[in-house]
Amino acid sequence: MPSSWSASLRFELQFTGENINLWGDKLNTVLNHADFAVAGCLVKALTADDVLTTANSGDDEARAAIVKFTGAGPFTVTIPSVSKTYDVWNACTGAVTLTTGAGATVTALPGEVVRVACDGANVVRSQGTFFTNQRLQGVADPADPQDAATKAYADALAFTANAGVLPGQSGSAGKFIKTDGVTASWQAISTADLSDNAAFLGRAVALAIVL
């Protein structure tokens, strides 16, 4: 009876009594394939949409643990319709979309490194959006209405004069923000600024005397 092949990683499964005096070489081949599946890195140069190669008895691209894509893009890469995880490193200048040809897909943006899982049809991100109190770092300032805002962007929006909201804080210690109705600026408080307050206090004292 001939050998068979494992479903996901295409390892050779030898039949009992088969391959006498050859099983050692075949086992070494399986172990090399297993090593590549657990820790191997495939660097794949893309020039167009592509399909990761598969081969029962030989080396194949889809068995890799890590796949680093290079090139321009955007590209779509088709992976086998079997259960497997991949660490995908998109070193392309455009997006790379992973698909089995059916079901959900995952798009890795330029420079992104993402772990994906395939259930035989759908490709999904293994890492969800719950960050367990960790900071999301290395994020660009927002450009589109639904982009997340960075701290630098929020600070600039609130305290930079060019943003048209509040003036910058540098050199403004002990001062107050004052506006002429068009432009806000930091200014030292003056007695003129207290004139309305003095009138109010005068009326309050007069009222207290009457009472």
Q: Encode pLDDT of 65-123 as tens digits.
A: 999 999 998 999 999 999 999 999 999 999 999 999 999 999 999 999 999 999 999 99
Residues with Cβ within 8 Å of 13's Cβ and at least 6 positions away in sequence, in order, are 3, 4, 5, 6
Ramachandran bin of 44, using left for φ above 0, alpha for ψ from -120 to 50, beta for the remaining angles: beta
What domain range is 114 assigned to?
Answer: 4-125
196 part of a folded domain = yes
Give 109's DSSP letter: P
Give yes or no: residues 113 and 158 share one domain.
Answer: no
Task: Kindly list the distances between the CA atom of residue 100 and the CA atoms of 84, 111, 116, 160, 197, in Å, as whole numbers in the listed order.
Answer: 11, 22, 12, 48, 73
Write out the chain's pLDDT in tens, 211 residues: 577 878 888 877 777 767 677 767 777 887 888 888 899 999 999 999 999 999 887 889 999 999 999 999 899 999 999 999 999 999 999 999 999 999 999 999 999 999 999 999 999 998 665 666 777 777 888 888 888 888 878 776 665 544 455 666 777 888 888 777 777 788 887 777 666 665 666 666 566 665 5
Give yes or no: residues 95 and 174 share one domain.
Answer: no
Give yes or no: residues 121 and 157 share one domain.
Answer: no
Give yes or no: residues 68 and 22 share one domain.
Answer: yes
What CA–CA distance (Å, rounded) separates 74 from 196? 64
Confidence at residue 100, expressed as pLDDT on a 0 to 100 scale: 97
Q: Three-state SS for 123?
A: strand
Please state, as a whole number, how many other Cβ atoms lie within 10 Å of the Cβ of residue 207.
9
193 part of a folded domain = yes
The overall pTM is greater than 0.75: no
146 part of a folded domain = no
134 part of a folded domain = no
Confidence at residue 6, expressed as pLDDT on a 0 to 100 scale: 81
Domain boundary among 90, 125, 160: 125
Give yes or no: residues 28 and 100 share one domain.
Answer: yes
Phi first, then psi, for residue 77 (nearest 5°) are: -115, 130
Confidence at residue 164, expressed as pLDDT on a 0 to 100 scale: 54
Give yes or no: residues 29 and 77 share one domain.
Answer: yes
Token reading at 71: 């090139």
Task: Kindly list the distances between the CA atom of residue 24 and the CA atoms of 19, 30, 159, 182, in Å, as whole numbers in the listed order.
Answer: 9, 10, 71, 84
Q: How many domains does the chain have?
A: 2
140 part of a folded domain = no
Confidence at residue 161, expressed as pLDDT on a 0 to 100 scale: 47
Confidence at residue 132, expressed as pLDDT on a 0 to 100 scale: 62
